[in-house]
Amino acid sequence: MTLYTSASYNASAADSSTIDGAKIAPNVPAPSKRLKSTMLTGPIEKPWTEEKDKLKRAAYWITYAVMLLGVAGSVVRCYFGWKQVPRITKPLCLVLDDNFDTFDTENVWTHEVDLGGFGNGEFEMATASPNNSFVEDGLLYLMPTLTSDVIGTSAIFDGYTYNLTGCTNVNQTACGAVSNHTAGTVINPVMSARITTQKTRSIRFGRVEVRAKNPKGDWLWPAIWMLPKDNTYGPWPMSGEIDLMESRGNGPKYKNQGNNYVRGSLNWGPTTWINGMWRTSGFWTERRKSYDDGFHTYVLEWTEDFIRIYVDTRLHHMLDLRFNEPFFKRGKFPSTITNGTQQIVLENPWVNGVTVPNAAPFDQQFYLIMDVAVGGTNGWFPDNVGDKPWLDGSNNAMRDFASSQSEWYKTWPQGSNVKDRALVVDYVKMWEEC
Q: What is the DSSP string of 138-150?
A: TEEEE--EETHHH
Q: What is the pLDDT of residues 132-166, one digit of tens each?
A: 999 999 999 999 999 999 999 999 999 999 999 99
Q: What is the pLDDT of residues 36-82, one digit of tens each?
A: 666 666 777 777 777 777 777 788 788 888 888 888 877 777 666 66
With contact defined as beta carbons under 8 Å apart, do 313 and 269 qualify?
no
Q: Which of 194, 202, 199, 201 is nearest to 223 (CA)?
A: 194
- DSSP class of residue 101 equals S
| The one-letter amino acid at 126 | A
The Cα 211–Cα 424 span in angstroms is 9
Residues serving a catalytic function are: 241, 246
- DSSP class of residue 256 equals T
Does this model's pTM top 0.85?
no
Domain ranges in the chain are: 92-433
Q: What is the pLDDT of residues 168-216, one digit of tens each?
A: 999 999 999 999 999 999 999 999 999 999 999 999 999 999 999 999 9
| The one-letter amino acid at 81 | G
The Cα 102–Cα 98 span in angstroms is 9
At the second CATH level, the architecture of 92-433 is Sandwich (2.60)
Quick one: which H or E segment has residue 431? strand 423-433
| The one-letter amino acid at 90 | K
Q: Return the SS3 of 329.
A: helix
Q: Which of 375, 365, 373, 367 is nearest to 194 (CA)?
A: 373
The Cα 185–Cα 157 span in angstroms is 7
Least confident of 53-57, 98-102, 319-323, 377-381: 53-57
